[in-house]
Amino acid sequence: MIILGISLLEVLREKKCYREEPNWLQLADRLDKQSVKRTFLDRFFRSRLVYYPGAGDDVQPLQLFSRSRAAFGFVYADHDLTRNDVQTLIAPASGSRLSCLPGYELVASVDLKPWDLVPHGWTSHLTLREVRRSPHALETKAEAFALLSVFRRSSECEPDGGADGFALLYICSDPVATYDALFCQPESVARPFCVVLDWEKRTRWDSLGKGKYLERVARRSGVRPNLLLVNDRSGVWEGYQEVWRPDLLPDLSSGYAALFEAVEEPGRGRRLISRSRPEKPWWI
């Protein structure tokens, strides 16, 4: 059944996506300690995560899922933003016209290394031919980085303004390979609750839609998200049914065109098929 006539925020609440705030967020003020950082990352990756390939500076999913309390962990992957761009996004300079995350303030931020995120290494679910033909190996202006940031509600936030806090992991990387490395390895503990597919806005990421590289990785590994949030229904992956669409397109409150839910149980997946390391790592 497709839900009509209500906002996406209300749908996430109606579908009982609400979660109590996880206690690992309380570790944010001690992330400078290695043992605490490891514990935080382990619990972060075991939580309900929203993955956004080609995210750019779009904070709409942060606002949507934190306000609905549907998720408290977010993973963004994009080639184009520099570390300085991301820092400006999450912590605007004093006196700037408006925060990108109204009602929240940055309480902790820490740089991560590849081995913090994928300590056992990774092997691609794409063939070497597919890796070589992937459009994500384009030249990028940004140097590789991973920045973990934790936010808490500010005193100016309204009482019903949403979650008390959330965490954002922003990785400058190939978004398809990052999905594979983080979620789809035999040792992976992280699983994507929702994947945001905004290929209309991020036209460079033309391998995210139906039958393209990201879906191939998800199907071959058996690791598929519960939800797909899209701004165009034409390229939705197989095995998903529409559960919400706005009365007007796009939805004025969220900017998205539809929410899809998985109707197939994730399979066991195929074995890792690359016979050697990809020519470019996921962290580039």
- pLDDT per position as a tens digit, 149-197: 999 988 766 656 688 899 999 999 989 999 999 999 999 999 999 999 9
Query: Quick check: 101 and 62 in contact, CB under 8 A?
Result: yes
Query: CA of 90: how far to CAs of 124, 144, 161, 276, in Å?
Result: 31, 18, 18, 38
Q: Which residues contact 185 (CB under 8 A, 6 or more apart)?
A: 118, 120, 122, 123, 272
Q: pLDDT per residue over 234-274, tens digit each?
A: 789 999 999 998 876 655 556 788 999 999 765 555 555 54
For residue 51, report the phi and psi dihedrals to the nearest 5 degrees. Answer: -110, 130
Report the percentage of the chain scoring pLDDT > 70: 77
Q: Which two tokens stand for residue 144?
A: 């590789």
Residue 95: per-residue pLDDT: 44
User: Per residue in 37-66, pLDDT tens?
Assistant: 999 999 999 999 999 998 988 888 998 998
Phi and psi angles of residue 50, each rounded to the nearest 5 degrees, phi first:
-105, 125
Which pLDDT score, from 0 to 100, does residue 277 have? Answer: 47
Instruction: Quick: pLDDT tens for 87-122.
Output: 888 886 554 444 567 788 899 999 999 999 999 889
Q: Which amino acid is at 3?
A: I
Given a cut of 80, is residue 205 above it in pLDDT? no
Q: What whole-number distance in Å separates Cα of residue 74 and Cα of residue 167?
A: 6
Strand partners, 192: 49
The reported pLDDT for the residue numbered 284 is 45
Residue 167 has a pLDDT of 96
Residue type, 239: G
How does DSSP classify residue 92? P
Model pLDDT, residue 67: 87
Give me the half-sphere count of Cα atoms (radius 13 Å) on the Cβ side of residue 275: 1
Polymer length in residues for the chain: 284
| Residue-level pLDDT at 210 | 87
- In 55-103, beta strands by DSSP E: 73-77
The predicted model scores a pTM of 0.89
Contact 178, 53 (CB under 8 A): yes
Asked whether residue 231 carries a pLDDT value surpassing 50, the answer given is yes
Which residue did the predictor score with more confidence, 81 or 200? 81
Task: Tell me which residue has tokens 């999913």.
Answer: 61
